[in-house]
């Protein structure tokens, strides 16, 4: 090329440079938009993740918004609103580029979700009371969607989860603090006072207290040892946590919560078996467990005979009858089940509205759909077990204790304990490593992984959207029924406080006429 040609070419390049050079204002605007989007995502995470602590605060504090007349019904409505918001996030969230599961597992999950959904539709269509079955299926679907949504939100704001865990660990104090007051009153006046506050059933409190106790022993966030603080501060903090732990455990002893105490011991045993590196952390829970037992033995001698429920009972509290009824119900409906929330209405009549065993509840009411739902959760549970060495030991024990307790109680039936127990599951899932991601894969693998993710997400979102619509169709008017109440003749909790009722009703009180 001649010198004149080179001169012309270089001149053209110089004239094009302003066009090719990135515009600083455009870059700054794009960066600002990105920061704004991240800020909005973080704000959404904060708002949605504090839903469970809000429910726990309302329940443990005994505060009421006068939404409905019975606290349990108000907790259920609050839970439904929280789950609808979390499920809405899950429904409209973007496709993640990372996953804790393999593409093959996602493909199997997609097939399993669609099969379970088909079985649920068949069960609802043949149930004696389709609306009850539909509402029950929608509730548990929203709970599962809520787990996924909270886990994803915790991944976006990883520093927030320990803060919430510490808050949840202390919220039961708003109720349990009345226990020593009641004990002192009974010792000096021999008068029994109610200390369970808004919990109409002592097992509701025990089941809600169970995951909170393990979170307390985990000592997350500002409950942990503070190296920047003085030695006296850390000693005082440990002493305070020990006192709170003893108080929580005395509540279990005084309520005669045999199942709760057994699951606590089994949860601690699980840590001892699987996490030898955490043996030193067992000193506080083991010390407080023994100390609370000794205090309980002393209080039994001082308090009136009917103040505390004995833990030395030999009966099953009618659990064997409930389990036999559930097995008979499954035998009568082995494939599709009797229908969700039908246990209380089936013969023979028993007071309780659930069989105090989640496995028997699901297979008796949902048949193969119930079994398949449990199978679909296995990959995540196995993944949690595989990474047990890197997960918070007591959060892991909390999930194990809740799962064990669900086999003998209603911990995954009552609204507060449902949310608290499943929050711990979401926290563990959020801490699992994302070993399968599209960003580090080859082009062909990226397409395969993304395809499996999309299939799984579409299946998941279809079922989630169906659950949202079903819940709004069945219980939408209950959400706006002000000062209403659930009413039946037995008062056995399930969805509502009066578990055999389907909807809330206006309570009509006859006016008092002076003679």
Domain boundaries, the chain: 62-435+451-506
Q: Which pTM was predicted?
A: 0.88
CB 307: neighbour CB atoms within 10 A?
A: 18
User: Residue 98: in which H helix or E strand, if any?
Assistant: strand 98-99
Average pLDDT taken over every residue of the chain: 87
β-pair type (505-506, 484-485): antiparallel
pLDDT at residue 477 greater than cutoff 80: yes
Q: For residue 446, what pLDDT is reported? A: 56
Q: For residue 30, what pLDDT is reported? A: 47
User: Residue 396: in which H helix or E strand, if any?
Assistant: helix 393-405
- Out of 4-18, 125-139, 308-322, give the one with best mean pLDDT: 125-139
In 3-state terms, the chain is what percent helix, strand and coil (to 5)? Answer: 70, 0, 30
Q: For residue 17, what pLDDT is reported? A: 45
- Out of 63-67, 233-237, 382-386, give the one with best mean pLDDT: 233-237
**CA gap 96, 457 in Å, rounded:** 10
Read off the pLDDT of residues 82-135 as tens digits, 9 standing for 90 and up.
999 999 999 888 756 667 777 788 888 889 999 999 999 999 999 999 999 999
Q: For residue 512, what pLDDT is reported? A: 39
Residue found under tokens 């369970």 = 196
Local structure of residue 159 (DSSP, 8 states): T
Helix axes 71-92, 443-479, angle to 10 degrees: 150
**CA gap 415, 348 in Å, rounded:** 26
SS3 state of residue 372: helix
**CA gap 477, 192 in Å, rounded:** 40
* Mean pLDDT score, 357-379: 94
Burial code (b: 16+ CB inside 10 Å, e: under 16) for 218-253 equals: bbbbebeeeeeeeeeeeeebeeebbebbbbbbbbbb
Of all residues in the chain, what percent carry a pLDDT higher than 90?
68
pLDDT higher at 184 or 448: 184
Q: For residue 442, what pLDDT is reported? A: 52
pLDDT at residue 341 greater than cutoff 60: yes
Q: pLDDT confidence of 38, banded at 50, 70, 90? A: low
Contact between 452 and 437 under an 8 Å Cβ cutoff? The reply is no
The tokens for 259 are 């199942």
Chain-centroid distance of CA 512 in Å reads: 45
* Mean pLDDT score, 262-268: 96
Local structure of residue 343 (DSSP, 8 states): T
* Mean pLDDT score, 406-434: 94
Q: pLDDT confidence of 451, banded at 50, 70, 90? A: low
- Cβ-proximal residues to 225 (8 Å cutoff; 6+ apart), any chain: 219, 234, 237, 238
Helix axes 319-332, 358-366, angle to 10 degrees: 30
Count Cβ atoms within 10 A of the Cβ of residue 495 and give its class: 0-12 exposed, 13-18 middle, 19 or more buried.
buried
- ∠ CA 28-30-31 to the nearest 5 degrees? 65
Local structure of residue 190 (DSSP, 8 states): -
pLDDT at residue 304 greater than cutoff 90: no
């Amino acid at each position: 090329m001649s010198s004149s040609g080179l001169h012309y070419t270089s001149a053209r390049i110089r004239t094009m440079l302003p066009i090719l050079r990135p515009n600083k204002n455009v870059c700054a605007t794009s960066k600002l938009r990105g920061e704004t989007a991240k800020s909005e995502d973080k704000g959404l995470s904060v708002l949605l993740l504090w839903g469970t602590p809000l429910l726990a605060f309302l329940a443990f504090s005994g505060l009421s918004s006068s939404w409905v007349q019975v606290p349990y019904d108000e907790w259920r409505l609050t839970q439904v609103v929280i789950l609808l918001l979390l499920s809405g996030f899950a429904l409209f969230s973007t496709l993640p580029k990372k996953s804790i599961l393999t593409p093959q597992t996602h493909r199997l999950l997609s097939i399993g979700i669609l099969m379970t959904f088909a079985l649920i539709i068949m069960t609802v269509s043949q149930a004696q009371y389709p609306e009850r079955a539909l509402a029950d299926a929608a509730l548990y679907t929203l709970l599962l969607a809520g787990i996924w949504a909270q886990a994803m939100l915790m991944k976006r704001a990883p520093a927030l989860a320990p803060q919430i865990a510490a808050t949840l660990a202390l919220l039961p104090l708003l109720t349990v603090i009345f226990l020593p007051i009641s004990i002192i009153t009974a010792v000096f006046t021999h008068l029994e006072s109610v200390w369970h506050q808004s919990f109409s059933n002592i097992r509701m409190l025990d089941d809600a207290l169970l995951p909170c106790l393990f979170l307390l022993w985990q000592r997350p966030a500002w409950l942990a040892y503070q190296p920047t603080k003085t030695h006296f501060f850390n000693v005082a903090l440990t002493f305070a946590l020990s006192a709170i732990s003893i108080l929580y455990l005395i509540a279990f002893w005084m309520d005669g919560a045999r199942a709760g105490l057994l699951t606590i011991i089994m949860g601690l045993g699980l840590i001892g078996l699987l996490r030898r590196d955490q043996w030193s952390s067992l000193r506080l829970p083991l010390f407080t467990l023994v100390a609370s037992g000794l205090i309980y033995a002393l209080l039994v001698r001082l308090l009136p005979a009917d103040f505390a429920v004995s833990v030395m009972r030999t009966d099953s509290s009618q659990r064997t009858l409930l389990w036999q009824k559930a097995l008979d119900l499954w035998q009568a409906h082995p494939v599709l089940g009797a229908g969700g929330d039908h246990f209380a209405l089936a013969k023979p009549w028993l007071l309780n509205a659930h069989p105090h065993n989640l496995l028997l509840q699901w297979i008796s009411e949902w048949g193969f759909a119930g079994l398949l739902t449990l199978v679909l959760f296995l990959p995540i549970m196995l993944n949690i077990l595989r990474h047990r060495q890197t997960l918070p030991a007591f959060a892991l024990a909390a999930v194990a204790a809740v799962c064990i307790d669900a086999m003998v109680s209603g911990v995954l039936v009552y609204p507060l304990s449902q949310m608290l127990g499943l929050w711990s599951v979401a926290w563990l899932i959020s801490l699992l490593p994302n070993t399968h991601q599209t960003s580090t894969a080859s082009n062909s693998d990226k397409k395969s992984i993304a395809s499996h993710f999309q299939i799984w997400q579409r299946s998941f979102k279809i079922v989630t959207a169906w659950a949202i619509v079903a819940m709004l169709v069945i219980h939408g008017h209950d959400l706006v029924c002000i000062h209403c109440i659930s009413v039946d003749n037995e008062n056995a909790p399930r969805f509502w406080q009066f578990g055999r009722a389907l909807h809330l009703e206006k309570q009509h009180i006859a006016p008092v006429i002076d003679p």
